Structure formats: C-alpha cells, structure tokens
Chain A
C-alpha cells in the first residue's frame, strides 16, 4: 500500500468538500477532482515521509482554491464553457503580467498569445492526448498567481534562448564573482585616489577583504533572513511585497530587515577583525566612507541628469 493509497479516502472526502465549496463546480464528480489532487498531495506533502497524517492530507486539499481547480479540471476535459470562462476571466491577468515583464506591447501580446497556446496544449502527446501546462496547476496557489508565474518563466526562458546571459550568470565561477565584486567595490570606492599605485593596491585589498567578510556573513545567515536580504537588496523588492510572500505584516518585515542588517554588521566587523586583521578604527572608517560614497554617487547621478536635461534643451532649441 502506497502512501497515496493510505490517504485515498481522506483525499476523496476532501475532494467532495472541495466540490461543495466551489461556487461553480462545473459538474465535476468527486473522482475527477480527487485524481487531480493526488499528485499535488504527493508533491507537496507526502514527499516528506510517512509521518504525514490523514488530517494533514485533508487539510492540504481543503486549502486548495476550489473554483480555480474546478475550472482547470473542466478545461482539461475540453469543457467549452470552462475555456470561455478561463479566457474571459484571465486574459486580462495574462496580458497585464506580460506587459509588466516585457519591454514593449508587441512582445507582451506575443507572449500572452503563446501562453494561451501553451495552456490549450497545441502540441499532441504521443498517445494523442493534448499536452497542456494546465496539468501542472495544483490549486494551492491562486490560478492568477500561477499564470503570472508561468508568464515569468516563459519570459525568462525566451530571454535565455535569445542570449545565454542568464545561464552564464548562473554558472559563473565563484572566483569570477568575487573578483567582479572587488572590482566594483574598487571602482565605487570613495577613497580610491587612483594616482598612487600603493593606494590602489591597498584599496583593492580593502575591497577584497570586505567582499570576503560580507560573503561569509551572508552565507552564515538563516536561510529566511538571507532570502529576505537578497530579495530586498538584490531584487529591489519592496518590504510590502516581501512581507506578502512570507505572510508577515509589513512592519514585521521591516523589523526583520533591520535585525538582518544588524547581524550583517556584527558578522562583517567580526570577520574583518579576526580574519583580516582590521582594527576598530579601520572598520568604522571604511563603513562610513562606503555610506558617504553612495551619497556622492547619488549626487553625481543627479548632476548627470541635470546635464542631460540641459543638453537636451540645447539640442531642442537648436533644432527648433
């Protein structure tokens, strides 16, 4: 008896509840829903072993988006009305997400139409059944969210096909990244006076030290803290969005971020002092200069913007 068989009854019962929960069950019977739910249960729950209880399984199914799943199951059964409803309800979602993720309206439209082709399953499997992406929808997340994820994935896949950039980034050597980091740091470094080779050398060593300390510290953070930190600093997500992903209140996310910053400070200072032999003054000076350097670069950016505006004005005046 497999784990799935063991929970068969719980799944069926939950499927029946799901159908009754749905505002529009689209005439689906328990068996159709139940067989569709089992793979999801296996994927998200049973993979962790035998200690999963029947109650856990029932609870899992009970948290499935009933209407969304019923709609998808009906579509998979070639229910015309279901397809109409799917397109009518979610085409705006698909197009909106496509617009956000692509550079121009043409690309967005093309992406959106290819999503629908994928969902409909234009490709025929070997056994004659249509191979549709709909089969991957579990119902745990909302259908709209899943569609957006599909769109992001497809956009990234296309981008990868167009340029191998993303994969290169993924497979980039640890050392390359470290070097890039230190180079970047060196370039941005406010104390890089550039004339004196010794200073450049010491600046580079300084930047290397800091990059190494930072890397060590971030790696040793808790996975969730690390994820929050990366989403905030590397992906430029807002605290509000991060909070939504983790189910926090925004204030909680903010507190967490501050705590993570504090941990990073402690870790970096400790690593610089113990591993690289810096003293307190050096650490303090470097951090202060880094913060100041960022400010300066903002000013530079503003100056460049103003210059660009004046140039543009000049050009327009001359042309006119």
Chain B
C-alpha cells in the first residue's frame, strides 16, 4: 500500500519541534569537526564511517544543527559563488517568496495610502459635482420662476431676477413671491446686516442708491423695510414707534438669520453676479411702463451690482421687493389682503384651520354679503377672517 503524507503526525511533529531531547550515549563521543561535517554533507565518506556519523548526528543536536546550517548555505554552490562575484548580495533576493514582499517595508502601506487618497479624491469630486448640480438647478429654478411674476404682477424682469437671486440666497423660501411677502422685511434687514458685516465700505453707496427709489414706492412699507441701521435719509414723518418696534423685531430675526445669510452670501455672490449680468441687459430692454424711477433704480443698482458686490445686489433685491409688495397688497372692505402663493390672505389671518367654501355653492351663497363682496372683488382663492372664523373661498 502506498503511504501518504500524514498530516496529523506532521502537525504533531512540527508542534513538538525542539521538544525532543538529545539522547546521550551516541556512538561518537566527540563533536564532528568541519571536515567531517563537510564530507558528510557531500556524502563523501566511506559507508562505515558515514553510518557512525549518522548515529552521532541523529542524537547530537549541536552537530546536526551545524550540519543543517551549512547545508542551507551550500545551495546552488557554483551559481551562488558566481553570482556573488558579479553582484555583492544575491542571496537575500533569491529566497523571499513573492507575497512576503507585500508585507515588507511600506509597500502595502503606500498602496493603502494611495487608495485612501484616490477615494477621498473621488468623494470630493462627487461632492463637487453635486454642488454644481445644485447650483445649476437653482439657476434653472430661477429661470423657471422668472416669467411667473411678470405675468402675474407685471413685474419687470430685472426686478424679479433680483428677487429670485434673493430667494436663492435665502433658500428657505420656495418662490420669490412668497419670500417677498413672508420674509421680505426680514430678508431686507438681514441683508442690511450682512452688508454691514461683510461690506461696510459699499453699504453707504447702496443706501444712497436705494434712497431715491424709496419715495417712489409706498410709504408704509418703507417704514418696515429699511435695514435696521436706519438710513439717514429715512423720512422723519414716519410713525417712529411702529418703526422702532418693527426694527427691533426685525433685528432679532435678522440676528438669527445672519449666520445663514453670511454663509449663503458666497453662494449668492456667484449666482447674483450671473443674474445681474442678465438683469442688466434685461433692464435695458425693460418695458417702457417700468421706466422712470424704477428704471433709474435698476440702472443704479446694476451699476453697483456689476462691480461684483453681492450685498449691493441683495440690496437691489430689497428695493424690488418693496415694489412688488405694493402690488401684492390690497385693501378691500376695510381689510388688508396679501398675496402669497397665488392666494389672498387676510392680514388678520394668523394661521389655523379654515372653512373651505367654493364659489357659487349653496354654502357660499349663505355667507355674509360683506364677506362675499370682498371675495368677489379680490377673485381667485381668498382667505378671509370674518366674525372670528377663517374662510377659504375658492
């Protein structure tokens, strides 16, 4: 029967390595000298002598180890000698298995480091691409919303652009109109604050630019709208107390928004610069009915903005918002209504549930006449507070 390599005994013997003691009483009572070992290693001894040495070597660890140590140095005798003559250290290179080289030195470490750099670069690229995509999406959003204000409120394209850029800067609003009505004042003041912190030098310029535009727009708005730092040109006849209160609250809100505004200022800067370039050309071709003070204002703002000062661009936005706000606010039947997202909201409406009623239905007809009059005069969807209840007329 053919015997096979015994793995179990192999493991046992490997484990027992060095565990087996030398046995005394070997045939040769002295250790073998170099000549004897060399001759033995080359199998160059008379058989009888050789057997004696085998017996000694089988039990004498010192001699056997000596034999083994120089047997390993005798590998490729002639080749090694020749290689050595040609090249100083051929030995180390020959015997190392290829996989050892993976763990030698810092090869692996460098490879891993390289991979890490590669991955972080890749991730960085992805992040950058995402940012770019977001930016272009914002731009396209702006482009989409551009026609809307013109058709709805006949706003000049340039102003809606400026408003849009503001919206982009304060990205918590979804549409420019909403941002104007909801946060227009806050944005205005926030922008004002931002301009103080980021670009003090240009702020007076912006104010002086803004100042002539203000009288053109409606007064009550101006009271609330200007930056908290109250420009020196502010009309004196405004109700000071309301203005102060407004300014205070606006300051508080602005303080909260300031961080966001500063962070987004950089992003806005780029977008605004782009928008303003379009705006400039658009403003030139603007419809004739917005000529006059508005055109002047737009031009004035453009001249500032095109210098690359974003904050001024934002200030332009504020001016535009003031204009827009006038268009989106109406007084009907002693009530003030504001247009938000295409819906007229009663200024008395403080949120909460509404009773939805469709025009022409029985329910609608049952409503109070004054309420119906208001709804009819405004048209579209109207949220009215009447006798302490909120109605949504569609």
Contacts and interface: CB of A to CB of B under 8 A. Distances in A.
B36 to A, nearest CB: 8
15 contacts: A96-B73, A99-B84, A99-B89, A100-B72, A101-B73, A140-B35, A145-B39, A153-B66, A170-B61, A181-B18, A185-B19, A218-B20, A227-B58, A234-B20, A309-B112
A25 interface: no
A152 B73 CA distance: 9
Contact of A317 (B46, B49, B51, B113): B113
Contacts of B241: none
Contacts of A146: 34-35, 38
Interface in A209-244: 210-211, 214-215, 218-219, 223-224, 226-227, 229-231, 233-235, 237, 241, 244
Interface of B: 3-23, 33-35, 37-46, 48-49, 51, 54-55, 57-59, 61-62, 64-75, 77, 80-82, 84-85, 89-92, 102-103, 106, 108-110, 112-113, 116
Contacts, number: 259
A177 B18 CA distance: 8
Given A99-B89, A152-B66, A185-B15, A170 B22 contact: yes
B393 to A, nearest CB: 66
Contacts of B46: 44-45, 56, 60
A145 B112 contact: no
Given A101-B73, A223-B54, A265-B6, A237 B11 contact: no
Contacts of B92: 99
A178 interface: yes
Given A227-B57, A230-B61, 9 more contacts: A45-B46, A155-B69, A181-B16, A185-B19, A219-B20, A244-B43, A261-B9, A264-B12, A310-B112
A223 B33 contact: no
A287 B92 CA distance: 37
Interface of A: 44-45, 47-48, 56, 60, 63, 92-93, 95-97, 99-101, 105, 136-138, 140-142, 144-146, 148-153, 155-156, 166, 169-170, 172, 174, 177-178, 180-181, 184-185, 188, 210-211, 214-215, 218-219, 223-224, 226-227, 229-231, 233-235, 237, 241, 244-247, 255, 257-259, 261-262, 264-265, 268, 287-288, 290-291, 293-294, 305, 308-310, 312-313, 315-317, 320
B13 A148 contact: no
Nearest to A309: B108
B70 A245 contact: no
